[in-house]
Structure 1
């Protein structure tokens, strides 16, 4: 009889132990899930920071390159002006090969040495850019509802968009001379080679 009572008392204890073990397991699972979420948030934040840093470095490099190109173009224009008779018509050559994205001037426009005649396509993928903008809208909508992960994703996708758009601005083909545009020989969509004549400018 005593053994039966002891066994009966043992059953609730075992059930409680099993319940406690289950609670510990659930707590560990929740802790692991939280740790995974925090690790992903940290990775997303690092990705956004890296993308922003890359954008800033590229923007600084592009700004320096543009400034150097302007100085070189102005110096060349000054040298050409001394060597070329006033009123002469000179050819503007493409400084690089590529597909023309847009033309910035037309006949009779006044230009400086650094003025862009045309812009080459920067190679940005329009489908990828459209997909990123769609993600941006989705994350923005979720972020408005208080979704913290969506806020982090929104920051990361906006950084990626900025990098892609900056890369897509392309390269300017400068006039290289001070004067008046007489003729533009390229149009958007044309393929040009380095050294190809893209316009003619009359010197003052």
Structure 2
């Protein structure tokens, strides 16, 4: 994947420079923009192999960018970087077409792995079907109540709301969340959301 062109969009100058440095030392060509609008207005930006963008920015958000990219640059994958409380927004963005999302703070290796995965040639339908089956298998052992909690998380609901909807305590929801992560063998809520979306939940 060395030599591929990565575009970084983040209104935080320190984060933008840090990401650019990380990608540069790992052999990528990097272009940076402060906002999604600045990128879209730059007609000379040239071809892009992958976009790494913050999800919350002034003007056009990362979610809006995903929708725009899907309309204009179908073959350009978008990896979103989210804050701790933005999981529901990131889930919505993945449903709109983002290939991955990473929660702050994150390890450098996590971002590099996400970018390299996004840059891999996207195989045709059979491999997509295989990914769906694999995701479904990782969720196969969930109880009906655990699936109810997962559906609530996918809908962007907080623990208190899920608890009210299901007639259980917020503490019980936390227990179900822990069970969800253990049974699906994930280390983060964002990874669980990716699996659930791939499985078609």
Q: Relative contact order (C-alpha < 8 Å, sep 6+): which is higher? A: 1
Compare the two structures and name the one with the higher helix fraction.
1
Same fold (TM over 0.5): no
TM range (shorter): under 0.3
TM-score after normalising by structure 1 = 0.22
> More strand by proportion, 1 or 2?
1
